[in-house]
Amino acid sequence: MSIRPVKRLIKSKPTMEGAGVHLRRAFGFGNTTDFDPFLLLDDFRNDVPEDYLAGFPWHPHRGIETITYVLAGTVEHGDSMGNRGAIAAGDVQWMTAGSGIIHQEMPKGDPAGRMHGFQLWANLPSSLKMTAPRYQEVKALDIPEIKDDDGTHVRVVCGNFWGKTGPVDGIAADPIYLDVSVPPGRRKTLPVEITRHAFAYVFAGTGKFCNASEPLEVPTEPVSWADTNPPAEADNRSLVLFDRGDELMVQAGDDGIRFLLVSGKPLEEPVAWYGPIVMNTQEQLRQAFSELDKGTFLKPPRAAKGSS
């Protein structure tokens, strides 16, 4: 068994999206090759209603899947196919945009004014870029939860882990999406298939993601490091990108640690990306925006190609 070395440790950066929603971006809109098949991760935890209530009014997507995981508050949504609904604390919405969809997402805080959650974008392979759009909405109670003997707790949103299978299925990149909590002071080894790209996003507590059997702290790039002067622990809003290996190790801090652990099989295909549309070539991108202008962006089900 080989422990995955840590490739990068970075902090998510403040940005603004939609009609003026304040959030933090862990990665996205740059070179995302190291995260393939994932394109973007946004942390929209916010306790100030004025900073999120404007939401994400009607906008298009094509060629990707968006995964929204809510921790507190609700997100009301609607789309061009006539779907309406809301995702609440603990729920997940996995939307396959495929050939094209126009939707809106409007966050509503809980009674304390909190709107907490994450949105992850996953790329679609070229063969499924124009597949028919679909939703998979999963309620909190339908997400399997595992508690290990040492108190480690895992919610399995998608994929197979420790003998449990997440409720989201039929996803092209065969991702594994976990919500992991490790108790204070515990060191935990978690399996990750060697063929996958993998990252962790810490959103509570602190910890050290180790490079070997010793509890060493992680190196960062581009700063060189030595055992005598290791960098700080991974804490809230820290993104940890792993190199290859078949397991990872984390040493939880005094308050424990909670993080998303996401992995997927890289597509290794060209990416042509502008805003909410991700295709394989610039010509396909131009065609998508031309169709938006002409009003032909949305495809009837019989015209969509491929299957999800």
Say how far apart CA 199 and CA 241 lie, in whole Å. 4
Phi then psi for residue 197, to 5 deg, are -80, 145
**What's the average model confidence in pLDDT over 17-23?**
95
Rounded Cα gap, residues 17 and 1, in angstroms: 42
pLDDT in tens, 285-306: 999 999 999 999 998 865 444 4
Spell out a b/e string for 230-247, using b for 16 or more CB atoms within 10 Å of the CB, else e. Answer: eeebbbbbbbbbbeebee
Distance CA 62, CA 80 (A): 13
Instruction: Say whether pLDDT at 88 is over 90.
Output: yes
Q: Which residue type does 100 have?
A: G
- Mind listing the pLDDT tens digit for each residue in 226-274? 343 444 589 999 999 999 999 999 999 999 999 999 999 999 999 999 9
Rounded distance between C-alpha atoms, residue 71 and residue 66, angstroms:
16
pLDDT of residue 301: 67
* Residues facing 278 on adjacent strands: 273
- Interval 59-77 mean pLDDT: 95
- Cα–Cα dist 303/191, whole Å: 41
**Mapped to the 3 state alphabet, what secondary structure does the chain carry?**
CCECCEEEEEECEEEEECCCEEEEEEECCCCCHHHCCEEEEEECCECCHHHCCCCEEEEEEECEEEEEEEEECEEEEEECCCCEEEECCCCEEEEECCCCEEEEEEEECCCCCCEEEEEEEEECCHHHCCCCCEEEEECHHHCCEEECCCCCEEEEEECEECCEECCECCCCCCCEEEEEEECCCCEEEEECCCCCEEEEEEEEEEEEEECCCCCCCCCCCCCCCCCCCCCCCECCCEEEEECCCCEEEEEEEEEEEEEEEEEECCCCCCCEEECCEEECCHHHHHHHHHHHHHCCCCCCHHHCCCCC
C-alpha 296/C-alpha 138 separation (Å) is 31
The answer to whether the beta carbons of residues 191 and 250 sit under 8 Å apart is no
On average, the pLDDT of the chain sits at 89
The pLDDT of residue 308: 37
Q: Which residue has the tokens 């032909």?
A: 296
* Poorest-pLDDT segment among 2-6, 22-26, 125-129: 2-6
Q: What is the mean pLDDT of residues 70-95?
A: 92
Q: Determine the pLDDT at residue 124.
A: 96
Instruction: Output the pTM of the full model.
Output: 0.90
pLDDT in tens, 97-153: 999 999 999 999 999 999 999 999 999 999 999 999 998 899 999 999 999 999 999
Report residue 212 as tokens: 């070997």
Report pLDDT for 106.
Answer: 95
Per-residue pLDDT band for 165 (boundaries 50, 70, 90) equals very high
